[in-house]
Amino acid sequence: MSESTDKEPGTGSGTFPTPVSAAVEWLAHAQQEPRQAHREWADTGVALLPLGRHFEAARLPARLVLAAVDTYDPPEITERLTRFLNGPAFFDGRAMGGTFDILMRTHRTGHVWKYQDVAPRLGVGNYLAVPRMDRTKPPGAHWVVPPRFPGDLCEPATVEALIGFGLSITLETDQ
C-alpha cells in the first residue's frame, strides 16, 4: 500500500502525509514490524494486528448495532455511528450474522467491561483482522467509520452506552 502525499501548501515542493496515510501508519505500527501489516493489506486486504498496546476492540453483533442506530441503510448506519461513536468501526459479515468491530482506547485499571458476554472487549493476547483503509464497501471486512487520524479511537464508555441502548431495543422487540 503506497503512502498518499500532498504538496505542502505555499512551497511548491515537498510532501507531507495526509491524515489518512498517517492513520494507516499508526495502525501498521500496532505490529512490531509495520511493513508486515502493509504486506498483509496489499496481499489480502486485511492485516492481523495485535491488540492491547495501541488499542483494543469491542466486537458487537450486527443485530445489536442495527437496533441501536435504527436503520439498515448503509449510509445512514455510517452517519449515525460516526456521530455516536466519534471513532472508528468496521463491519465483518463472515461470522455470527456479522459483527461490528469498534476500535477503542486501552482499558483503565479497575474498569470492568459490563458486556463481555454480549459484546466482548478484545485486548492483550488477541488479534484483529483490520481492513485496508480503502475498503469501505462489501464484500469482506470493510470500514463503516474509518480512523481520521493517528490515535483516533472510541471511548469505552461511549461504546458501552451504544451496547446498552442496543440491548434495550432488542429486549423490547424480543418480548
| Residue that the C-alpha cell 480512523 belongs to | 147
Name the nearest CA neighbour of 126 among 108, 107, 149, 109: 107
pLDDT of residue 8: 32
pLDDT tens-place string over residues 25-68: 999 999 999 999 999 999 999 999 999 999 999 999 999 999 99
Cell of 40: 498483509
CA distance 1 to 33: 15
